[in-house]
Amino acid sequence: MSTFTIFLILIIFVAFLLVVVVMVQNPKGGGLSSSFGGGGSQQLGGVQKTTDFLDKSTWTLATLLLVLILLSSIPLMGGTGTGDVDPVNTTNVPVTPVPGAAGDTNTSGEPETNQ
């Protein structure tokens, strides 16, 4: 299993967790926070602590997702794959002159014969 595949699996897992955490929150005071009682604001282990946990977990997962995405580009830049092509070093490419191009003395378009 390549490093990129591992990063891809981790990115998908963290993105799924982030979606779940965001879907649990409700911006109008509902969601998971309201199921723990929603009467007073001075509850122990109630609404305020659940909202804080959901906020912190959202930011943590979002930061982790961003870091994983940035780190996943490192194996791609390494160039260790078998199908990599170096665009700078293309010395093995044969060059065929185009008839009538600059520097070509034969303007007839016929192949030159060395006699």
> What amino acid is encoded at 107 in this protein?
T
Q: With DSSP H G I counted as helix, E B as strand and the rest as coil, what are the percentages for the chain, rounded to 5?
A: 50, 0, 50
pTM value > 0.85: no
Break the chain into its structural domains and give their ranges. Answer: 24-37+44-73
More confident residue, 16 or 5: 16
Q: What is the pLDDT of residues 57-67, one digit of tens each?
A: 999 999 999 99
What is the Cβ-side half-sphere exposure of residue 71, based on CA atoms within 13 angstroms?
13
Give the contacts of 106 (CB within 8 A, at least 6 positions apart): 99, 112
pLDDT in tens, 68-111: 999 988 877 765 555 555 556 556 666 676 776 666 566 565 66
Average of pLDDT values for 8-23?
93
- Kindly indicate the confidence band of residue 42, based on its pLDDT and cuts at 50, 70 and 90: very low
CB 68 within 8 A of CB 7: yes
